[in-house]
Structure 1
Amino acid sequence: MLHYVAKYILNALVMGIVKISDALHEEVRKTSTVMERSINSQAEFWMKVGRIAEQNPTLTYEQIIEREMRSQNVESVRLVNE
């Protein structure tokens, strides 16, 4: 089954087709509900984080998120001291 990922650019719909398994689509759907994202947004988030992880194999997930937040001038708050 084909699942679609869509992106709006300057009020025009540009659609790319990404073929993923039904099982992975179900995981994206379930996770998107928990994370309160659309299915497309959740898939895009996973793809973006995965791409950064491949390009920077020594970074942890937390480091990737921290860098992305800093790049958008978002201050992260640590709830637990390590």
Structure 2
Amino acid sequence: MAIAIKLSDVLVEDAKPYAQAMHRSVPKQIEYWARLGKVAEENPDLPITMLQDMLVSIEEVKAGNLSPYKFG
């Protein structure tokens, strides 16, 4: 469910260069930051890079980009 929210101009301006660099819209960049922040609060002992990799992995599974791991 999408809803309209009011964001500060500073947050929107801060998000613009990141959105452009990551090929996202500004709202999608802010949504990404919110998701990452939520995961970071839930897992304070894990490094941000690991949390980012986990979010990417979740999206890869949703997209069906799976391959079996071969031990040895």
Given the two structures, how large is their TM-score scaled by the length of structure 1? 0.62
* Counterpart residue identity of residue 60, structure 1: P
Q: Are positions 1:30 and 2:17 aligned together?
A: yes
Unaligned stretches of 5+ in structure 1? 1-13, 76-82
User: What displacement does 1:44 show?
Assistant: 0.9
% same residue:
27
Unaligned stretches of 5+ in structure 2? 67-72
Instruction: Give the distance between the partners of 2:5 and 2:34, measured in 1 at CA.
Output: 11
3-state SS of 2:16 partner: helix
Q: Which moved more, 1:49-58 or 1:31-40?
A: 31-40
Aligned residue in 2 for 1:17: 4
Which structure has the highest strand share of the two?
1
Q: Which moved more, 1:50-59 or 1:17-26?
A: 17-26
**From 18, 38, 48, the counterpart of 1:51:** 38
Aligned residue in 1 for 2:48: 61
Which structure has the highest helix share of the two?
2
Q: Which moved more, 1:15-24 or 1:54-63?
A: 15-24
User: What displacement does 1:70 show?
Assistant: 3.0
Number of residues paired by the alignment? 62
User: What displacement does 1:65 show?
Assistant: 1.5
**From 50, 57, 70, the counterpart of 2:57:** 70
Given the two structures, how large is their TM-score scaled by the length of structure 2? 0.69
RMSD: 2.0
